[in-house]
Amino acid sequence: MIDLATFEHPAVTTINGKHWFHELSEEAFPGQAFSLEIEEVLYHTKSAFQDILIFKSSKFGNILVLNGIIQCTERDEFAYQELITHLPMFSHKAPKRVLVIGGGDCGVVRELIKHSNVVDNITMVEIDDMVIQLSIKYLPQMAKFHNHEKVKIVIDDGFKFLSNLSQVDESEKYDVIITDSSDPEGPAEEFFQVNYFKLLSNSLRKNGIVIMQSSENIWLNLDYVSDLKHKAQKVFPNVEYSQCYMPSYTSGQLGLLIATHDVENNLKVPTRDITEENEITDKFKYYSEKVHEASFVLPKWADSQINK
């Protein structure tokens, strides 16, 4: 049991006798912060890679924080997990082999299991095993399929793992790659550069699809989002920007980049008929065919820069 009265963390302060977590980042979110009241600090440590904090919020349930940035909350995690997973999965005709880079909370894996009637195997590559183990304990509704028969977990650097894939046969590459990394600081910094998109490209099967969170959104840093899409377009001829709405991410949004070499694939519309997979879609809380299409619709001022 961690005593809140004596607990010290740069993101935790006491105001009028209540303890608050403040998501502060002058680099990512200059001039603003997102705050949540803390009921209980469940765990805190510094792994070999990052600062890990897990606390129970008065309104958002258990929350995973890495390096002072919220990764997921029990209240709204399903929105991000569903969109980043089902956009590429329903945009691919037959996603048999799927790779997840990052995603230590196992939320993406949970969503991928909903496609187990189509998917043959899922590989998740996470650099920090401690994130997985803590998610199993404190976020059990997310990390419920870490030991599923179709799931293989590899503890390794995602960049290194992808580098090794460039020399393998087509059969060992992937139909869908989901990059669920942390923000571009520390071990995740390489995941937002042109070389990373090249590694993703070399790890895909023909007509494969990749998706990644953009770290920023149109309200926080439109120039960054536009530049990231431009980097992706240096490698992939077909790139689109989508957005997910959830209150626990600063400014209430998170952007996603989805890309493929298949120029005939309209990523904005599901390729597989969702209505024929009611067993899957009945399990969705956020994703639907309409949400798939609407997630690509941007307000005019942002669309004119990102999709110019």
**32: Cα separation from own chain's centroid:** 22
100-135 confidence digits (pLDDT tens): 999 999 999 999 999 999 999 999 999 999 999 999
CATH code, domain with 147: 3.40.50.150
113/217 same-domain check: yes
Which of 33, 54, 73 is a domain's end point? 73
Lowest pLDDT segment from 2-11, 165-174, 277-286: 277-286
Name 212's Cβ contacts closer than 8 Å, sequence gap at least 6: 178, 179, 180, 181, 191, 256, 257
Q: Answer whether 185's CB lies under 8 Å from 48's CB.
A: no
Strands 61-66 and 18-24: unpaired
147/163 same-domain check: yes
84/69 same-domain check: no
The reply to whether the predicted model has a pTM over 0.95 is: no
Q: Please, what's the b/e burial string for 8-45 (b: 16 or more CB within 10 A of its CB; e: otherwise)?
A: ebebbeeeeeebbbebbbeebbeeeebebebbebbebe
User: Is the pLDDT assigned to residue 94 strictly greater than 50?
Assistant: yes
User: Is the pLDDT assigned to residue 193 strictly greater than 60?
Assistant: yes
> How far apart are alpha carbons 250 and 252 in whole angstroms?
5
Radius of gyration for the alpha carbons in the chain, expressed in angstroms and rounded: 19
User: Is the pLDDT assigned to residue 22 strictly greater than 70?
Assistant: yes
- Which is nearest to 274 in space by CA: 296, 262, 291? 291
Say which residue, 194 or 90, is predicted with more confidence. Answer: 90
Q: What are the backbone dihedrals phi and psi of residue 14, each rounded to the nearest 5 degrees, phi first?
A: -115, 125
Supply the pLDDT for residue 290. 95
Supply the pLDDT for residue 188. 46
> Would 7 be classed as within a structural domain?
no
32/86 same-domain check: no
167/300 same-domain check: yes
247-281 confidence digits (pLDDT tens): 998 889 999 999 999 999 999 999 988 776 666 76
Active site positions, annotated:
180
42/161 same-domain check: no
Q: Answer whether 227's CB lies under 8 Å from 184's CB.
A: no
**159: Cα separation from own chain's centroid:** 16
> Would 61 be classed as within a structural domain?
yes
CATH code, domain with 27: 2.30.140.10
> Would 6 be classed as within a structural domain?
no
The stretches of the chain forming alpha helices (DSSP H) are 77-91, 107-113, 129-138, 158-165, 194-202, 222-233, 278-281, 289-294, 300-306
> Would 37 be classed as within a structural domain?
yes
Supply the pLDDT for residue 195. 84
> Would 286 be classed as within a structural domain?
yes
Supply the pLDDT for residue 189. 52
127/250 same-domain check: yes
Which of 47, 73, 99 is a domain's end point? 73
Question: Residue 75: pLDDT band by 50, 70, 90 thresholds?
Answer: very high
Q: Residue with structure tokens 């997840």?
A: 100
Supply the pLDDT for residue 27. 74
3 state SS for 269-286:
CCCCCHHHCHHHHCCCCC
122/240 same-domain check: yes
91/188 same-domain check: yes
Name 72's Cβ contacts closer than 8 Å, sequence gap at least 6: 63, 64, 80, 81, 105, 107, 139, 142, 248
Residue 206 lies in domain: 77-306
User: Is the pLDDT assigned to residue 185 strictly greater than 50?
Assistant: no
What totals of helices (H) and strands (E) does the chain contain, helices first? 9, 13
Beta bridge partners of 45: 52
Q: Answer whether 150's CB lies under 8 Å from 109's CB.
A: no
Q: Answer whether 253's CB lies under 8 Å from 219's CB.
A: yes
Residue type, 171: S
293/158 same-domain check: yes
Q: Answer whether 130's CB lies under 8 Å from 91's CB.
A: no
Which of 73, 88, 121 is a domain's end point? 73
Lowest pLDDT segment from 42-51, 189-198, 203-212, 296-305: 189-198
> Would 3 be classed as within a structural domain?
no
> Would 5 be classed as within a structural domain?
no
59/109 same-domain check: no
Domain total of the chain: 2
63/90 same-domain check: no
> Would 2 be classed as within a structural domain?
no
